[in-house]
Amino acid sequence: MALLSVTDLSVSIGRLKPLDGISFDIGKGEIVGMVGESGSGKSLTAMSVMGLLPLIGGKMTSGSIRFDGIDLATLPEPRYRALRGRRIALISQNPMTSLDPIIRIGAQIDQVGILHLGLSDAAAKARSIDIMRQLRIPEAATVHGNYPHQLSGGMKQRVVIAMALAADPELMIADEPTTALDVTIQAQIIQIVVDLVRERGLSLMLITHDMGVVAQACDKVVVLYAGRVAERNGIDAIFGEPQHPYTRELIRCIPRHDQLRGSLTGIPGAVPSVMDYPSGCRFHPRCADALDICAGAIPALEQKAAGFAACHAAINAAGKVSAHG
C-alpha cells in the first residue's frame, strides 16, 4: 500500500479553483517528482498534504488524502499537529523564512527532537549535531551555536533540511528546495538530500521545475498543468516515451548542448492563469496535437502504456504521441 495516497483532490480559494482532481501515490522509499510551470499547483498540492490550506484561505472541496491509512482531510488539527513535522516534514523554498533569525541554529534543530521525540536537551543536541554532520555541514558543533545570519544561503538550507530530518519523518516534501541558491550549491544539496533519503528509505515528494533534477533523482513523476494532472509515469517513460503532449514539449524545452542551433522553440502561448482557464483540456490552446474534442471535453486521466495521461489525442491514437518524441 502506498504511504501517501492523494485521490481526486480539488481545492478552492475563494471563487478560484486552483486544483482540480489531483490523484497520485507515493510508495515507501519512493522519490516522486512533481513538475510543472508556475501556477500548475505544485506547491498547493504540498500545502494540502501538510494541512496548511487554511493559512492561505483555501479549502479542500473534494477528494481524499490518506497517509499511512490516516485520512488527513478529516483529521482534527491537534492530531494533525502531532503528524506534521514528525511523520511528514516540509522543506520550503526559502531557507531564510524557515529559520528564526534571533534563535541559535542549534536550538532550532534541537527543538524538533525535544518536541516530537521527547528527547532531553543533551540528547537532542547530540542528535542535531549528528544530523548536521550527515548533511556535511563543516564544523557542525560550532555551527550549532551560530545564528542564521552567520551562515551562507546553502548552509541555511542544510540547516532547514536538518530540522526536517530531526524528527525522523517517513515522508519529506521538498518544495523547490534549491531555487534560491547558486548552481554548484544546488547540485550539492540535491545530491546530499537524495543520498540521505535513499539511505534511510524515506519517501520524498520533490517539487521542482528543473527536469534535470527530476531525471537524476526521481523514480516516478507527476506532471501538473494548470491545476490538473497531465501525466503520471515512471521516470524512464517520462523522458523516453512521454504520453502527454505537454510532457513531450516540456522536455523539448530543456536546452541541450548537443542540440542543433535554432531548434529550441518553446511551447507557443503562455501558461494560463487560474482566473482564466481554457475549457476542456487546459493545454489545448498550446497543443500541436489538439483535436476538435479537446476544447469541449475534459480528458480523464486514463491508463496509457505503463502510466496515466489525461489526453484525448493520446487515447484516440495509441502510439501517435510518443512517435513525436
CB 232 within 8 A of CB 24: yes
Name the minimum Å distance from CB 181 to other proteins.
Answer: 9
Q: Which stretch binds other proteins (CB under 8 A): 7-15, 114-122, 212-220, 310-318?
A: 212-220
Residue where the block lists cell 548536521: 132
Question: For other proteins, which is the closer residue by CB, 10 or 45?
Answer: 45
Name the minimum Å distance from CB 30 to other proteins.
Answer: 14
Name the minimum Å distance from CB 257 to other proteins.
Answer: 3
288 lies in the binding site for other proteins (CB under 8 A): no
CB 6 within 8 A of CB 182: no
Name the minimum Å distance from CB 111 to other proteins.
Answer: 26
- Site residues (CB under 8 A) for other proteins, limited to 141-170: 152, 154-155
Q: Assign 317 to helix, strand or coil.
A: coil
Name the minimum Å distance from CB 305 to other proteins.
Answer: 16
Question: For other proteins, which is the closer residue by CB, 81 or 198?
Answer: 198
Residue where the block lists cell 482531510: 73
- Report the length, in residues, of the chain: 325
Q: From the centroid of its chain, how far is CA 259?
A: 29
74 lies in the binding site for other proteins (CB under 8 A): no
Q: From the centroid of its chain, how far is CA 64?
A: 18
DSSP state at residue 285 = G
48 lies in the binding site for other proteins (CB under 8 A): no
Helix (H) or strand (E) holding 185: helix 183-200
- Among 145, 201, 212, 319, interactor with other proteins by CB under 8 A: 212
- Among 236, 288, 292, 296, interactor with other proteins by CB under 8 A: 236
DSSP state at residue 86 = T
199 lies in the binding site for other proteins (CB under 8 A): no
| Alpha helical stretches, state H, 84-182 | 95-98, 105-117, 121-134, 140-144, 153-166
Name the minimum Å distance from CB 12 to other proteins.
Answer: 24
132 lies in the binding site for other proteins (CB under 8 A): no
- The contacts of residue 285 (CB under 8 Å, 6+ apart) are 269, 272, 278
275 lies in the binding site for other proteins (CB under 8 A): no
Q: Assign 314 to helix, strand or coil.
A: helix
Give the cell for residue 289.
Answer: 496535437
191 lies in the binding site for other proteins (CB under 8 A): yes
Name the minimum Å distance from CB 165 to other proteins.
Answer: 19
Q: How far apart (Å, rounded) are the C-alpha atoms in residues 164 and 60? A: 25
Q: How far apart (Å, rounded) are the C-alpha atoms in residues 56 and 19? A: 14
Give the cell for residue 295.
Answer: 476544447
186 lies in the binding site for other proteins (CB under 8 A): yes
Q: Which stretch binds other proteins (CB under 8 A): 23-31, 111-119, 185-193, 294-302?
A: 185-193
Q: How far apart (Å, rounded) are the C-alpha atoms in residues 168 and 44? A: 24
Name the minimum Å distance from CB 121 to other proteins.
Answer: 30
User: Binding residues for other proteins, per CB under 8 A?
Assistant: 37-38, 136, 138, 152, 154-155, 182-188, 190-191, 209-218, 235-236, 238-240, 249-259, 261-262, 264-268, 270-271, 286
